[in-house]
Amino acid sequence: MDTTPIRIPAELVAKLRQAESVAVLTGAGISAESGVPTFRDAQTGLWARYNPEELATPEAFQRNPRLVWEWYEWRRQLVSQAEPNPGHLALVEMERRAPRFTLITQNVDGLHRRAGSRRVIELHGNIVRTICSRERLVVEQWEETGEKPPRCPRCGGFLRPDVVWFGEMLPAHALQAAIEAAREAQIFFSVGTSAVVQPAASLPFEAVRHGATLVEINLEETPVTPMAHYVLRGPAGVVLPALVEATWPPDV
């Protein structure tokens, strides 16, 4: 394991300390250190045979609703056992310090809210919530008859997780709020995302077009890297706390 301490550029620290508005886009990478696998490393164990891009689609649900429901049951269970990590917590602190702050996440695990972040845009929904696949309304309770997926108590349609599947539209208000936050941000962070799933992947570019300083935090190179003003290579759970501590030392 590489134990080289993360170097946080002093110039970035100064910019962040003075920034009036900060936006952060997170992806599956920020939850990896909580034990929630990214899509790329999710193919372990029982589910190794399945490709997430073939399960997280409306077509897959139509073809085999039971399989898709069970895959989400497995993921829901994983998430319920996971805890927010120092990366999530550093973003809670950043929100407390920055005058205007928006956290935009592609994650469906709810860990940002559980960590204490308040202004969170969940672009792809949340697997903890369940909706009726016909009526699209949130369903809190249903009868467990053993049938999978269970049925909507109102209309009898199949229940499904309240997430945005590949090929589905994002909730318009959430996407609009995310675009506005990207446009007004003086500093925009792209954290733990492969930046290939649209339209979220376009947000860092939108921010730069509107004058933001772009910072990438990731283990690997992504399509964002060539555009980023600062690239911090390392795990989000190490880099984000180091950045927050350098910017707002505990005794200030």
The two tokens of residue 32 are 């990896």
For tokens 């649209």, name the residue: 198
Interatomic CA distance for residues 120 and 117, integer angstroms: 7
Determine whether 88 is an active site residue: no
| Interacting residue with ligand NAD among 12, 15, 16, 27 (CB under 6 A) | 27
* 216 forms part of the interface with ligand NAD (CB under 6 A): no
> Using the rule CB under 6 A, is 219 a contact of ligand NAD?
yes
CA–CA distance, 93 with 234 (Å, rounded to integer): 20
Q: Which of 88, 112, 124, 229 is catalytic?
A: 124
Binding mask 54-93 for ligand NAD (x = CB under 6 A): ----------------------------------------
When CB distances to ligand NAD are compared, the closest residue is 29
Cα(173)–Cα(205) distance, integer angstroms = 20
Give yes or no for residue 190 binding ligand NAD (CB under 6 A).
no
| One residue of 15, 88, 112, 124 binding ligand NAD per CB under 6 A | 124
What part of residues 127-146 is at the interface with ligand NAD (CB under 6 A)?
none
C-alpha–C-alpha distance, residues 214 and 224, integer Å: 9
For residues 204 and 183, give the distance between their C-alpha atoms in angstroms, rounded to a whole number. 9
Cis peptide before 199 (omega within 30 of 0): yes
Give contact residues for ligand NAD (rule: CB under 6 A): 27-29, 31-33, 36, 38-40, 106-109, 124, 192-194, 197, 217-220, 222, 235-236
